[in-house]
Amino acid sequence: MLVLDTPFLRSVRVAIILGVSCAAAACNMTSETAKPALAPSSASSLVERPTTLRSETMVGKWGMASYRQEKDRNRVEAQARDQCKLPYTITRGPTDGVMMHVADDAKLYELRLKGASNGKTYLGLEAPPGHPQDREIISMSNKRMVMRFSDPDADNRYGTFIYVRCVG
């Protein structure tokens, strides 16, 4: 009797599916610009406005953690402080933005702050404010930043991020 559904074969199928998915994602990127493909956004009706936030505030070493429910925020903020042992480093980008990751991509990209006509501030690639690859800045100071992804799927997967500046 031939068994076609073994744990090994399931692992092989998962590896093939992941490989095809990664290859398909790579096709959406150009080799010269290496920017993630930007799909049209329902938020594209937002008009960009100046923001009072400055990218210099974001540069530095940060402890980072995320939460999904507001009741967990204080506990997660303490966990973010503990992450200063292995801080997330944000550097200045070549054109006055900051170098950070976007959702589902290990590569660093230059992101910029974008004010929007809805009164919110976003951080993201060259696209209208509120684009699915953007993060909405909920609050930002020299010591703490709170932000979430604009894309509901990414927000659901990653939660709301708290960044706590590492001292020393």
Ordered by start, the domain boundaries in the chain are 43-165
Number of Cβ within a 10 Å radius of residue 142: 10
- The whole-number pLDDT of residue 110 equals 97
Nearest to 43 by CA among 157, 136, 166, 145: 136
Q: What pTM did the predictor assign?
A: 0.72
What are the CA-CA distances from residue 132 to residues 15, 53, 72, 83, 96 (Å)? 27, 20, 25, 27, 22
Distance in angstroms (rounded) separating the CA atoms of residues 162 and 73? 8
pLDDT mean values, one per 10 residues, the chain (168 residues): 44 41 39 47 72 94 96 95 96 95 92 95 95 95 96 95 94
Residue among 90, 72, 70, 68 nearest 164 (CA): 90
Q: CB of 122 within 8 A of CB of 36?
A: no
Tell me, what's the pLDDT at 38?
52
d(CA 35, CA 126): 10
Contact 164, 62 (CB under 8 A): yes
- Confidence at residue 14, expressed as pLDDT on a 0 to 100 scale: 39
Rounded distance between C-alpha atoms, residue 122 and residue 129, angstroms: 6
